[in-house]
Amino acid sequence: MKGRVLNTSIMASVTAVVIVMWVMLASAPKTSAIPAFSRKYQTSCTTCHNNYPELNDFGEAFKKNGFKFPKDDEVFVKEPPVLLGSKAQKEAFPGAVYPGEIPGYVPVAFRYSGNFNYNAKQPIAAGFLPRTDLFVPNTFTIIGAGSFGPSLSFWVDNDISADGANGNAGLGDGYLKFNDLGHALGLPKDTLNLRMGQFELDLPITQARTINLTPYDVYSQASIAPVSNAACATIGSPAGTACTTNNPLQFGIPQRGIEIGGYPNDGNFIWSVAVVDGSNNTNALRNSKDVYVRVSQRFNLERDPESRNAVQAAGPTGPRDHTSIRFGAFYYYGRNALNMNGSLFPGFGTVHEPFYRAGADFRFKYRHLELYGVGMYGHDQDLLPNTVTGTGFVRTSPVTFSGGFAQANYWIYPWMIALLRYDFVDSPTDFSNGVSRYNTRNRFSPGMQFLVRANIKVAFEYQRRWEQPVTLTDGNTIFFRPNGFVSGIDYVF
Amino acid sequence: MSLFGIAAKTAVAAGLVVALAGAGWANEIKGKVSVQGIKSAENIAVYVDVIADKKFDAPKDHVVIDQRKMAFIPHVVAVQQGTTVDFLNSDPVGHNVYWPSISGNKKLSHNLGTWPKGDKKPFQFNDLGTAPLLCNVHPEMSGYVVVVPTPYFAVTDKDGNFEIKNIPAGKYTLKTWSEDGKPTTQAVDVSAATATVELTVKK
C-alpha cells in the first residue's frame, strides 16, 4: 500500500516536472540587447552586438565595466547623468549620504519576440499539436539597465507578457552589482565584483542572451527518478519502492542569490562563486543553499601586440573580435530537499539529496566564425528511508545524466548569419520515463538569421529531434520525431 | 616722344596691369543656399565646376578629418581633386573608415582598416565625386568627402552662407552637393570684386 502511494506520488511529480520542463522550453526567460544604451551614447546596437543579444568583445567589456565604455566613458555619453549629490560630498561622508547618480535618460527599453512554428505531424495518441502556430510565445519584455555611478550598476528585465494574452510571465534578471570592489584593496582592476538579486548564473554559454530560438536542451534538463527502478527496491525499502529524486533545478533559469567574481587581465581570466536558492520560485523550496563555481581562461591569439591588448582587434577592414579560444570549467553543488511535510515518507524527516553538476566548455572565435560547446554531467544521489532501522536514509541508485551542445555560427555578411547546432542529452532515467526511445536524446538544429536592421531580426531554425515513444490505444508502442521549423521575429526599441 | 614720356607711359601701363591682375585674384563669390524640403542648409558643398582648358595642380597641404566622440569631424569636407586627406582617430575606441563607392561607383570603394587613438591614415582622392565615409562597427557615424575639380569651393555654415575666395574674374558654373538634396547648377559671372549668388537646393 505504502509503495503504491509512493508510486502515485512519483508519477504525479514526474508528470508535473515534465510539463514544467516543456513550458520552460517554450518560454525560457530571455534578456536582451539594450536600446537604452543606444540612446545614451547615440550609437548603434552593432557597437556591442554582432548578432544581438549576443555580445561582441566591446559589448563584453562594456558590460563588465558596469555598463560603461571601457575607456573615457564620460566623453561618449550624450545624455549626462543626474548627480544625486555632488562629488565633493564624499568628503562629508558619513555625515551625509554618499553621492551617486542616476541615468539622465529613462533607462528603459523594450523587446518583442514571436515565432511562427510549423510542427511535424504527430500521432494523436501523443496529444493534439497544431501543425502551425503563429507568433508564440509572443513575448513582450521591458528592460532597464545602467549605472548608478562609477562602481554600481543595475539590471532589470521582465517579460510583461508571454504565451499570448494573459499569459504568465515574470522577472528574468534583476540585480545590483558593485563593480571593482578590489580596487579599494589594491587588487588589479576588475578582480573582485559583487552581484546580488536574481540573475542567470555565470554560465559558460549564456542562455539569457542566446541568439537561438530554442533553449539548450542540457540547460533545461531536470533530474527526475525513474518511475520504476528495481535497484531502489532492494535496499531495505519496501518492495515496489521506487527512487524519488525530483530535482527541478535547470541551469538556464535565473536564480536568486549572491555572486562574487572577477575578470582581471582584461577579462582573459574569469572567475565567479555564487550562493543561490536553487530555484527562483516565489519562496525558496528548501533551507539549504547551492553553490556554483566557474573559472575560465581566454587565450588571445592575436599576433599584433597592440591589437591583442585593445578592447577589439584591429582588422584590415575594421575592428573585430579577437581571434581567441576560451576554456572553462564549472561545478554546482546543492542538496535537494524532499519529504519536508512528511507526505512522501511518513514518519521520516526531511531528506536532503546531495547533487552536483560539473562540466567544461570552450569557445573559439576566428574572424567571421564562432565555435563553442559545453559538456555537462549531472548526478543526484537518491535517498530512501531505511525501513530496517526505522530512522535515517540509505543511498540508492543515483539519477544521472550527461549532455551538452556544440554550435557554429558564421557571418556570411554582417547581417546574415548561418547557425549549426547539435544538442545531446544522455539520460537513462528519461528513457525509463518514456521521454525518449533511447537513453540519448539528440537534436540537430540548423538555422539562418537576418538582421533586417540593427534592432530587427528575422530568424529561422529547423529542429530534427529525437524519437519519442507513444502508446496507442491497442497497446502497441510507436515512435515519432516531434520535429519542427521555427521562424521568429524579434525587435528591440 | 621723349624718353621720359615713354618711361611714364610704360609705368602707367604696368601699374594698370598690376592693378587689374590684383583686382582679378581678389574676386570672390559670396552667397547663401536656401533649402526646400531639407532640414538644414548647413554642410552643403558649393564649388566651381570644371573650367575649360584649365588644369590645377594637386594641393600639397593635407586636409584632416577627425573621428571624435564617434563622429566624423567635420561632417562634410570639400577638397580639390588630388588632395590627400588624413583620417585621424581621436577616440579611445577602435574605428575604421571606408566608403562603399564614390558617387555610386562601387569600383572606387575603399577600406582604410583600423588604427588606434592618435594615429592617422592618409588617402589621396584622385577621383571626382562624393565619398560617403562609414565605420563598420559604428554605423551611426557618417561623413562625406566631396572631391571637386577646381580649387574654388566652400561648405555652407549653419545658416547656409558660403564664401569662395581668390577666384579670377570670369564666367563659371557653380554646383552644389548636399547629403539630402539634389545637385543644383547655376551660372555665375565673377566680373565684380564680389559676386553674390542665391542658390536653392531641393530635396
Whose cell is 527512487? That residue is: A243
DSSP string, A196-216: EEEE----SS-STT--SSS--
Residues B176 and B98 in one domain: no
Which residues does chain A have with pLDDT short of 70? 1-33, 163-168, 229-241
pLDDT for residue A167: 61
Q: How many domains does chain A have?
A: 1
Tell me which of A37, A47, A306, A413 to substitute to probe the interface with B (most B C-beta atoms closer than 10 Å): A47
Query: Any bridge partners for residue A462, and if so which?
Result: A485
DSSP H/E element including B18: helix B3-25
Chain mean pLDDT for chain B = 89
State the pLDDT confidence band at B186, using cuts at 50, 70 and 90.
very high
- What pLDDT digit, counting tens, does each position of B93-132 carry? 888 899 999 999 999 999 999 888 899 999 999 999 999 9
Q: Which of B70, B111, B136 sits opposite A76 (nearest CB)?
A: B70
Chain B's closest residue to A74, CA to CA, is: B69
Residues of chain A contacting B98 with CB distance shorter than 8 Å: 317-318
Are the beta carbons of B96 and A318 separated by less than 8 Å? yes
pLDDT for residue A240: 59
Q: How many domains does chain B have?
A: 2
Residues B62 and B103 in one domain: yes
- What pLDDT digit, counting tens, does each position of B145-173 carry? 999 999 999 999 999 999 999 999 999 99
Residues B17 and B31 in one domain: yes
The pLDDT of B77-97, averaged and rounded, is 94
Are the beta carbons of B115 and A318 separated by less than 8 Å? no
The pLDDT of B13-27, averaged and rounded, is 51
Measured CA to CA, the distance from residue B143 to residue B135 in angstroms comes to: 10
Are the beta carbons of A454 and B114 separated by less than 8 Å? no
Chain B's closest residue to A38, CA to CA, is: B140
Residues B64 and B125 in one domain: yes
Measured CA to CA, the distance from residue B169 to residue B189 in angstroms comes to: 8
Percent of chain A scored above 70 by pLDDT? 89
Give the lowest-confidence range in A144-148, B26-30, B65-69, B165-169.
B26-30
Phi and psi at A76, nearest 5°, equal -95, -15
Phi and psi at A293, nearest 5°, equal -130, 135
Whose cell is 516536472? That residue is: A17
What Cα–Cα distance (Å) separates residue B3 from each residue in B7, B10, B16, B17, B122?
Answer: 6, 11, 20, 21, 59
pLDDT for residue B23: 44
ipTM over 0.85: no
State the pLDDT confidence band at B19, using cuts at 50, 70 and 90.
very low
What CATH number is attached to the domain comprising B101? 2.60.40.420
Measured CA to CA, the distance from residue B79 to residue B84 in angstroms comes to: 9
pLDDT for residue A128: 86
The grid coordinates of residue A476 equal 502497441
pLDDT for residue A166: 58
For CA atoms A383, A385, A389, A391, give the dihedral sign.
Answer: positive
Strand runs (DSSP E) across A108-264, as ranges?
108-119, 132-147, 152-161, 171-178, 193-199, 223-224, 246-247, 255-262
DSSP H/E element including A10: helix A2-26
Amino acid at A19: I
Residues B113 and B172 in one domain: no
- Rg of chain A taking only CA atoms, in angstroms: 24
Q: What does DSSP say about strands B170-177 and A152-161: parallel, antiparallel, or unpaired?
A: unpaired
B93 contacts chain A (CB < 8 A): yes
Q: Give me the domain span that covers residue B35.
A: 1-53+156-203
The grid coordinates of residue B30 equal 559670396
Whose cell is 540587447? That residue is: A33
Phi and psi at A12, nearest 5°, equal -65, -40
pLDDT for residue A445: 97
Q: Which of B92, B94, B111 sits opposite A319 (nearest CB)?
A: B94
Measured CA to CA, the distance from residue A469 to residue A464 in angstroms comes to: 16
SS (H, E, C) B81-119: CCEEEEEEECCCCCEEEEECCECCEHHHCEEEEEECCCC
Count how many Cα atoms sit within 13 Å of the Cα of residue A220 in the half-sphere of its side chain: 24
Residues B20 and B62 in one domain: no
Number of residues that make up chain B: 203
Amino acid at A181: L
What CATH number is attached to the domain comprising A166? 2.40.160.10
Measured CA to CA, the distance from residue B127 to residue B107 in angstroms comes to: 11
Residues B125 and B76 in one domain: yes
Q: Give me the domain span that covers residue A63.
A: 2-492
Percent of chain A scored above 90 by pLDDT? 53
Measured CA to CA, the distance from residue A385 to residue A362 in angstroms comes to: 41
pLDDT for residue A20: 38
